[in-house]
Amino acid sequence: MRILFLGPPNAGKGTQATRLSEYLELPHIATGDMYRHHVAVGDGLGEKAKPYMERGDLVPDDVTNQMARERLLQPDVKRGFVLDGYPRNLVQAEFLDSVMKELKTRLDRVLKFRITGEVLIARSSGRRLCPTCKTVYHMEVRPPANDEVCDNEGTPLLRRKDDEPEAIRNRLEVYGKDTKPLYDLYNEKGLLVEIDAIGSTEDVFARVLEAIR
């Protein structure tokens, strides 16, 4: 299956995509995670992406499209994927379409995560990330066993710079302007399924499974 997750920042896409990719045994392809990796190792791509990410802006399309294409052409993606955070605007959606044609395949389903602004803010203020194993926590909903260190290997957890209030405001604006038009596009293609992203991670996962059935 080839599944795409769309939704505002902090809607829980990464949490559910990680789970679904394990369930379906398919790769989870998240452009945000790929960029965070490049920033952490400090390579050229990371240096280019960092200022855009910290402000909550989109990294330029040419860079993102090439990075996504390279990943989608890897052999482990042949059986399918859970794509999270890409495409994020109409230019990227058109490019993804061309990559799907190159691979002689198509998307099966696009899941839209529906959530309210209040819940998004609560999720962004509580989020913590393990920089080593990438596990995502929430200080109220999914706290680590010990104060602010990862359960897996004890690494101190980080707060993402783009979860600061100013960057969050900008990410929401960018989402409204650039990403929302994709809903009409995928709806017209008959691929869009909307899911309620409010509730426990278990409840939301049950809705995700229902939506891809």
With CB under 6 A as the contact rule, the residue among 3, 6, 15, 38 that binds ligand AP5 is: 15
With CB under 6 A as the contact rule, the residue among 58, 93, 110, 208 that binds ligand AP5 is: 58
* 160 is known as an active-site residue: yes
Long-range contacts, 164-167 (Cβ 8 Å, 24+): 166/56, 167/54, 167/55, 167/56
Q: Taking Cα atoms as reference points, which of 105, 56, 57 lies closest to residue 77?
A: 105
Q: Considering only the stretches 8-16, 39-47, 98-106, 151-159, report the one whose residues sit in contact with ligand AP5 under the rule CB under 6 A.
A: 8-16
Nearest-angstrom CA–CA distance, 25 and 119? 30
Q: Taking CB under 6 A as the rule, does residue 27 contact ligand AP5?
A: no
What three-state secondary structure class fits 78?
Answer: coil
Question: Catalytic pick from 2, 36, 128, 160?
Answer: 160
CA atoms within 13 A on the CB side of 156: 2
Q: Considering only the stretches 6-14, 93-101, 145-153, 188-196, report the one whose residues sit in contact with ligand AP5 under the rule CB under 6 A.
A: 6-14
DSSP, residue by residue, 133-146:
T--EEETTTB--SS
State in angstroms the smallest separation of the CB of 188 from ligand AP5.
21
In this structure, what are the phi and psi dihedrals at residue 157, rounded to the nearest 5 degrees? -80, 155
Q: Which amino acids are annotated catalytic?
A: 13, 88, 127, 160, 171
Binding site for ligand AP5 (CB under 6 A): 7, 9-15, 31-32, 35, 52-53, 56-59, 64, 85-86, 88, 92, 123, 126-127, 136-138, 141-142, 162, 171, 199-201, 204
